[in-house]
Amino acid sequence: MSARLRKLFLYFLVFLIVIWTIAPFVWLIISSFSYKVDLLSVPLKWIPSRVTIENYQQLFMHEGNFNVNAALFSKSTMNSMIIAFTTTFLAMFLGVLAAYALARVKFPGSNVYMGTMMGAQMIPPIAIVIPLYVILRQLNIYDTHFGLILVYLSFVLPLVIWLMRSYFASIPAELEDAARIDGCTRLQALVKIVLPLSAPGLVSVFLFAFIASWNEYLYAFIYTNVNAKTLPVLIGEFSTKLGLEYLRIAAAGVIASLPPIILALLFSRYLVKGLTAGSVKA
Amino acid sequence: MANLNIKKSKENGLRTLLSGKGFFGLSLAVPAFLAVFILVFVPFINSLWLSFQRYDLARPQNNAFIGLGNYVNLLSDPRFLGSLKASAIFSLVSVAFELVLGIGIALVLNKKFIGQGFVRGLIILPWAMPAVVNAAMWKWIFNADYGALNALVTQLGIVQEYQIWLANPVSAMALLILANVWKETAFTAILVLAALQGIPDVFYESARVDGANAWHQFRHITLPMITSVVMVAGLLQVIWGFHHPFELAYIVTGGGPYSTTELIPLRIYAQTFRSLRFGYGASIAYLTSLLLLIPAVFYIRNAYKKVVEV
């Protein structure tokens, strides 16, 4: 095979990979901007001749063509925001401290500690769903932001600790030693020296934590009802209950995908680093 | 000698525990540990206890400790065995495709081409998407009347008429696997790509000098260098294939047709929250976890070795 033909073949394969990766999502986007009648035609036209934002408007429309789903949609989006951000920051605060201790200070049981964090990621969520449900009910935090944030910590914390520990371990300890000779306490050394140096690690951990909590479905599905219902649960309801327009589901799906997808595409470098370091499920 | 060492390390451990440094470490690490312990391990042990009980919310008068009774019943429960089979097919076939496609994509993206950085970033898209949106998206694509799948295969002339894909057990399972493979392949591709980038060029250069062709280079250099990564990715994906596809199956097929795609998480959900048989549901979760323990232990040991090396 000549070099030129080989190059052409390579670009053909790259083209196939790109199509495979984006085609389903692009179809979702096209559907969300289409009129229903255009999509019902046989044979189907892949690029519609006209576009509409009607499907998006219906998601947010409160007055005029009022419907219950619209109010629910805004509320669920808000809930998802609050829960994902709070979980992420809480987990990063607790997790970064723990990871720093694990990377720097040898303390008894640190091996058991890491094993526990590993094990926590191996336990099937559905196996702990029932006891957690009972706990949430007894503490009176079923269907609250706080309850769901607490549950989300169970899978976000191990992830943060696992990733940050290996990141801290890669930063030379001599820098802190120098700072401590100059009179810094360990905590000051962490805040002033280690954290600024760990910015890339912190970014990647933030992304993983946020995407994991934003996308979570099962816990939110079982532990929320009205008040704390998240966007994924609402979309699940849209698509399992009859009578709802597919195109509106498509629009809701696009909106729910935007935060994680935009973050992932903007910061893909950081995510790739984290994925390879920690083998993380989101 | 060995004894002496153990004694010594114990003394050291105690000393560091009491000294300021050890105390500092503990105080930073304990809150997170407690949170995970209380939120994951206490419920996990609690549900083990639950699995030894007959615990039906619908018939509370019959609640009792029955030891391994639930587990014995499971072994002759056709619905459970059917679910186990469905999950095994779903998980193993998915992983086979994910690994082959993932390695293929990684090999292509490891070559030099214009737009390489962009495409490498782009393949993360399916991974980042919420699983529930992935499920709703594919359900829309598989729709019998207006779905893109039917439009595509009829326009390509593969089938003559629109098919009700999700009404046939074989095509329903195949499409469920397709939806899963699309989302999960990125993970394998990214891991393998990182491993490929770690292979020094010198290896290939010297192989070329020795007259090795492309296949030999792949077989004797590339493959051995990515084997461990592929093993880890594969094992993780098998475990996740059993534990995580709840929303996918729940939304796309709802377990149908005739329960042929009722994966394990769906069966547990049905037993627990529809039939309200909490004990029985817990025993399904435990038995499945036990079955997966063998690959999981293997994986943890592997990963643990890596951590110790860091």
| B137 and B204 part of one domain | yes
Q: Is B18 on the interface with A (CB under 8 A)?
A: no
- CA-nearest residue to B21 within chain A is A105
Helix or strand (DSSP H, E) at B53: strand B53-54
Range picked from A240-244, B40-44, B290-294 for highest mean pLDDT: B40-44
| B34 and B167 part of one domain | no
Distance between B140 CA and the closest CA of chain A, angstroms: 7
Q: B57 lies in a domain?
A: no
Query: What is residue B248's predicted lDDT score, i.e. its pLDDT?
Result: 95
In this prediction, residues B173-184 reach a mean pLDDT of 96
Band of residue B279 on the pLDDT scale cut at 50, 70, 90: very high
Q: Helix or strand or coil: residue A48?
A: coil
Choose between B92 and A226: higher pLDDT.
B92
Q: Looking at the predicted structure, is the pLDDT value of residue B23 above 80?
A: no
| B8 and B153 part of one domain | no
Do residue B121 and residue A265 have CB atoms under 8 angstroms apart? yes
Q: B12 lies in a domain?
A: yes
| B157 and B112 part of one domain | yes
Disruptive mutation site among B36, B47, B84, B183 for chain A (greatest number of A CBs within 10 Å): B36
- CA-nearest residue to B292 within chain A is A122
Query: What is residue A143's predicted lDDT score, i.e. its pLDDT?
Result: 93
Do residue B108 and residue A124 have CB atoms under 8 angstroms apart? no
- Kindly report which listed range (A44-48, B9-13, B178-182) carries the lowest average pLDDT score: B9-13
Helix or strand (DSSP H, E) at A12: helix A3-32
Cβ-contact A126, B289 below 8 angstroms: no
Q: What is the ipTM score, two decimals?
A: 0.91
Calpha distance A120→B34 (Å, rounded): 12
Do residue A282 and residue B127 have CB atoms under 8 angstroms apart? yes
| B280 and B150 part of one domain | yes
Q: B271 lies in a domain?
A: yes
Calpha distance B246→B264 (Å, rounded): 8
Q: Looking at the predicted structure, is the pLDDT value of residue B54 above 70?
A: yes
Residue range A207-248, pLDDT digits in tens? 999 999 999 999 999 999 889 999 999 999 888 875 567 888
Cβ-contact B163, B150 below 8 angstroms: yes
In this prediction, residues B238-261 reach a mean pLDDT of 91
**Helix%, strand%, coil% for chain A, nearest 5:** 75, 0, 25
User: What residues of A are in contact with residue B296 (Cβ under 8 Å)?
Assistant: 122
Residues of chain A with pLDDT under 50: 281-282
Q: Looking at the predicted structure, is the pLDDT value of residue B1 above 50?
A: no
Find the CB nearest B289 among A27, A127, A150. A127
- CA-nearest residue to A221 within chain B is B247
Distance between B75 CA and the closest CA of chain A, angstroms: 19
Q: Residue for token digits 């503490």?
A: A139
Q: Integer distance in angstroms from the first to the last C-alpha of chain B?
A: 28
Domains in chain A: boundaries = 1-52, 68-278
| B115 and B158 part of one domain | yes
For chain B, the domain total comes to 2
For residue B218, how many other CB atoms are within 10 A of its CB?
A: 13
| B160 and B220 part of one domain | yes
In this prediction, residues B227-252 reach a mean pLDDT of 89
User: What residues of A are in contact with residue B130 (Cβ under 8 Å)?
Assistant: 214-215, 217, 231-232, 235, 256-257, 260
Q: Looking at the predicted structure, is the pLDDT value of residue B7 above 50?
A: no
Write the DSSP string, B69-88.
HHHHHHHT-HHHHHHHHHHH
Calpha distance B257→B262 (Å, rounded): 9
Q: Looking at the predicted structure, is the pLDDT value of residue B19 above 60?
A: no
Q: Which domain holds residue B108?
A: 76-309
Q: Percent of chain B beyond pLDDT 90?
A: 46
Burial class (CB in 10 A: 0-12, 13-18, 19+), B38: middle
| B33 and B109 part of one domain | no
Q: B101 lies in a domain?
A: yes
Calpha distance B45→B52 (Å, rounded): 11
Q: Is B230 on the interface with A (CB under 8 A)?
A: no
Query: What is residue B303's predicted lDDT score, i.e. its pLDDT?
Result: 60
Choose between B307 and B121: higher pLDDT.
B121
Query: What is residue A243's predicted lDDT score, i.e. its pLDDT?
Result: 56
Cβ-contact A239, B251 below 8 angstroms: yes
Q: A68-278 sits in which CATH class?
A: mainly alpha
Band of residue B2 on the pLDDT scale cut at 50, 70, 90: very low
Query: What is residue A149's predicted lDDT score, i.e. its pLDDT?
Result: 96
Find the CB nearest B21 among A20, A105, A253. A105
Q: B102 lies in a domain?
A: yes
- Kindly report which listed range (A268-277, B84-93, B224-233) carries the lowest average pLDDT score: A268-277
Query: What is residue A69's predicted lDDT score, i.e. its pLDDT?
Result: 65
| B43 and B171 part of one domain | no
| B119 and B173 part of one domain | yes
In this prediction, residues B82-106 reach a mean pLDDT of 96
User: What residues of A are in contact with residue B163 (Cβ under 8 Å)?
Assistant: none
Q: Looking at the predicted structure, is the pLDDT value of residue B306 above 60?
A: no
Do residue B25 and residue A17 have CB atoms under 8 angstroms apart? no
Residue range B100-136, pLDDT digits in tens? 999 999 999 999 999 998 999 999 999 999 999 999 9
Q: How many helices (H) and strands (E) does chain A have?
A: 15, 0
Q: B41 lies in a domain?
A: yes
| B191 and B285 part of one domain | yes
| B219 and B89 part of one domain | yes
Q: Looking at the predicted structure, is the pLDDT value of residue B300 above 70?
A: no
Q: Left, alpha or beta for A45 (phi > 0: left; psi -120 to 50: alpha)?
A: beta
How many beta-carbon pairs under 8 angstroms link A with B? 287
